[in-house]
A and B are shown apart, each in its own frame.
Chain A
């Protein structure tokens, strides 16, 4: 009951934000946090829960953006265009993504990376121009509908991962992550569950792409296919905590706010800084900030701060 009340409070609070906050910049930041939460959760389902490290999410994100923009410019309502983008991501994954499961481990990561490189080169050659938002939309542009769409989609993504972590399906994903051969040995159809995981993951990535396209007024068609959209969700999930419900959200908050701060003051140096943060996270916080919080809680409970320091907890 407590949790439901808390959740309802958060949802109502988020719904009231545009009425209270008039600064567009703050809304921009919340939209960006939501966008990265959606993208990192889409990676989290496949990479964090199922253990299949994908470096090809920019392809699914990009195709969601591309289809959304085409449908939207043609006059489709934004929510229908969003669904269209998401489904096309899934279709693309069915056509070219699932065969990638023939590859395992590092080879799967390299295969998906190759896929995203092929996608960006193809889009650069087939769609060389800029995609402008419809002029009638620009003339009455408002961040509020984008904000609501962003928050709704991120709640859907978080809700989905929450439901997965409490379901048999989620347990199957985790068993594959922990030991694929052992999972197969106890009767889990690993290929089937990997396909389900990839389907859910690409559906969410497509939603993220549509959200991007709704948010950014004009961009080159290839921009949502850039490799950064493959690497950023990995970084975010690892900073927050891979395979967790809240980790990608925490990672997104850190990522967006710190990036904004560093980028404004340090320019492209922020890329270097985030690279170092990523290495340090992998070395010292393999379970991300969520893992650190758990360790701190444990230490507090048992009063064993010394053991925390020496890393034995």
Chain B
């Protein structure tokens, strides 16, 4: 009887010892920690989208610096903090190269996740590449809704989509006193998915919200001359204009509006005037142009001051920092948080974790919908006295919308 008791105790102790040894050995035998967490981004650093691409790169680089200065991201799988290594490739604003470069990051560099580049036009192409390679992809400056209707599982975009943008445009119009409010809208539709989606919402909401579209015009992505469209807008008497041009087009259109002496009360170009280079390119002609306000340097969210300080240290001459800088920083915050929460560099586990991330970023609180798009408050900025000022939503606004006077009075 006594013998059996001892045997039981002995077995129990042996079992515990074996378990402890196996646990210890499994730690020793576990795959060694990689020296870095490799992330990849294909960004337009040359070509038509370069102005925005450089802002995106600046945001990522500042975020990587901040994370690595704090020792990196803690990965439970390796029980240590690992620094982030961000590999950036240029797609030359060419969507085919976006695909091939992402394929390279996936198959040669073996990155854990992708970060997006600049503009919906290039990002929608990158999304499918991420999906086919089954690599999580967090994008910035993507407003097209089409990819979110494709059932993609690896795509996450902390940015406002076309519907939110158009709704907020009408909210901004509604905020103008009745007697000064523009009622006749001019719409210039860029012939890409995002432009067409915005166009559908513009037309659909105009009736409901008491506005008339007096000119509904279309233009292709490489269009360089807008004089005939501007003449149409002018002759139709449009006193507010909405469009989503490419960055170079946003410069040309405003310059041609000035040449043709067409001055609507409100000109809203979501893409282009929101970039760091716009003020330098346009001088005082930038004044009164309304653009995207997804992020602003005056926002009081945690960590934003540090982003602005570091950006300004490197770029002291920039008058107003482009919104992609903060958006890109926010995307990196989300990705590093997801890696830490997942506790692993396994792509599949990381994908399922990103969708559940709910956090405060430098551009406010963010959480994702089931389809990977974000629930996020949309805003606008307006160029006023040589600076791009946050004017909407009211809780983060530092200025008020100004209606544009004729060109000779600016």
Q: Evaluate whether A130 and B132 lie within 8 angstroms (CB atoms) in the complex, with A124-B220, A263-B97 already known.
A: no
A23 and B133 contacting across the interface, CB-CB below 8 Å: no
| Chain B nearest CB, measured from A188 CB (Å) | 40
B45 and A129 contacting across the interface, CB-CB below 8 Å: no
A141 and B133 contacting across the interface, CB-CB below 8 Å: yes
A267 and B132 contacting across the interface, CB-CB below 8 Å: no
Q: Evaluate whether A218 and B125 lie within 8 angstroms (CB atoms) in the complex, with A267-B92, A268-B47, A268-B92 already known.
A: yes
- Chain B residues within 8 Å of A284, by CB: none
Picked from A23, A216, A264, the residue with its CB within 8 Å of the CB of B96 is: A216
B99 and A216 contacting across the interface, CB-CB below 8 Å: yes
B220 and A125 contacting across the interface, CB-CB below 8 Å: yes
Assembled-state Cα–Cα distance A228/B222 (Å): 14
| Chain A nearest CB, measured from B357 CB (Å) | 24
A32 and B220 contacting across the interface, CB-CB below 8 Å: no
Main secondary structure on chain B at its contact with chain A? helix
In the complex, B192 has a CB within 8 A of chain A: yes
Q: What range describes how many residues of A lie at the interface? A: 20 to 34
B 103-135 contacts with A by CB, 8 A = 103-104, 106-108, 121, 124-125, 127-129, 131-133
- Chain A residues within 8 Å of B193, by CB: 128-130
In the complex, B168 has a CB within 8 A of chain A: no
- Chain A residues within 8 Å of B97, by CB: 263
In the complex, B221 has a CB within 8 A of chain A: yes
Residue of A nearest to B222 (CB): A124
Assembled-state Cα–Cα distance A23/B45 (Å): 27
Picked from B89, B95, B133, B152, the residue with its CB within 8 Å of the CB of A219 is: B95
Picked from A25, A121, A219, A263, the residue with its CB within 8 Å of the CB of B220 is: A121
B 282-308 contacts with A by CB, 8 A = none
Instruction: Give the interface segment out of A102-110, A131-139, A287-295.
Output: A131-139
Number of A-B contacts (CB under 8 A): 95
- Chain A residues within 8 Å of B108, by CB: 23, 25
A138 and B103 contacting across the interface, CB-CB below 8 Å: no
- Chain A residues within 8 Å of B131, by CB: 138, 217
A267 and B46 contacting across the interface, CB-CB below 8 Å: yes
B104 and A223 contacting across the interface, CB-CB below 8 Å: no
One digit per residue, 1 when the CB lies within 8 angstroms of any chain A CB and 0 when it does not, for chain B 317-336 equals: 00000000000000000000
Q: Evaluate whether A218 and B196 lie within 8 angstroms (CB atoms) in the complex, with A24-B106, A133-B132 already known.
A: no
Assembled-state Cα–Cα distance A130/B95 (Å): 11
B196 and A128 contacting across the interface, CB-CB below 8 Å: yes
In the complex, A220 has a CB within 8 A of chain B: yes
Q: Evaluate whether A218 and B128 lie within 8 angstroms (CB atoms) in the complex, with A124-B221, A129-B193, A268-B47 already known.
A: yes
In the complex, A28 has a CB within 8 A of chain B: yes
One digit per residue, 1 when the CB lies within 8 angstroms of any chain B CB and 0 when it does not, for chain A 46-88 equals: 0000000000000000000000000000000000000000000
B129 and A24 contacting across the interface, CB-CB below 8 Å: no
A128 and B195 contacting across the interface, CB-CB below 8 Å: yes
A125 and B96 contacting across the interface, CB-CB below 8 Å: no
| Chain B nearest CB, measured from A129 CB (Å) | 5
B132 and A141 contacting across the interface, CB-CB below 8 Å: yes
In the complex, B369 has a CB within 8 A of chain A: no
Most buried by B among A222, A223, A268: A268
In the complex, B208 has a CB within 8 A of chain A: no
B89 and A264 contacting across the interface, CB-CB below 8 Å: yes
- Chain B residues within 8 Å of A220, by CB: 95, 121, 125, 192, 221
Q: Evaluate whether A25 and B92 lie within 8 angstroms (CB atoms) in the complex, with A135-B151, A141-B133, A219-B99 already known.
A: no
In the complex, B256 has a CB within 8 A of chain A: no
- Chain B residues within 8 Å of A267, by CB: 45-46, 90, 92
* 8 A-B contact pairs sorted by A residue (CB < 8 Å): A128-B192, A128-B220, A129-B193, A135-B151, A218-B99, A220-B192, A223-B95, A267-B46
If A220-B121, A222-B220 are given as contacts, then 4 extra A-B residue pairs at C-beta distance below 8 Å, sorted by A number, are A128-B191, A130-B193, A132-B146, A268-B46
Q: 5 tightest A-B contacts by CB?
A: A24-B107, A218-B128, A268-B46, A128-B191, A141-B132
